[in-house]
Amino acid sequence: MPFEPDEIQWGSACGIGSDGHWHGWFDVRIHAGALGRLGLHPDQPTAGVTGPSPPGWWHAAAERNARDR
């Protein structure tokens, strides 16, 4: 694993949502220095759309393939 034990923290919580169903959440926190070793840094641009979205049939086929596995 690329992180030392003291460089990563995680937490979880659960509760009943406004719809009456149980929901769970978790978060993962990684020390900035550990991310820097992987080439990630605060000045790195965020991900963005670089082209048009694939057609609707492509999304439907991907969902079918995922469900059939």
- Predicted TM-score (pTM) of this structure: 0.48
Phi, psi of 28 (to 5 degrees): -125, 130
* Residue 1 pLDDT: 62
Q: Which residues contact 33 (CB under 8 A, 6 or more apart)?
A: 7
Contacts of 34 (CB under 8 A, 6+ apart): 2, 3, 4, 7, 8
Coil vs helix vs strand at 54: coil
- Reading the chain (69 residues) residue by residue, the pLDDT tens digits are 688 889 999 999 999 989 999 999 999 998 888 888 888 877 777 767 778 888 889 888 888 888 887
Task: Note the pLDDT of residue 32.
Answer: 85
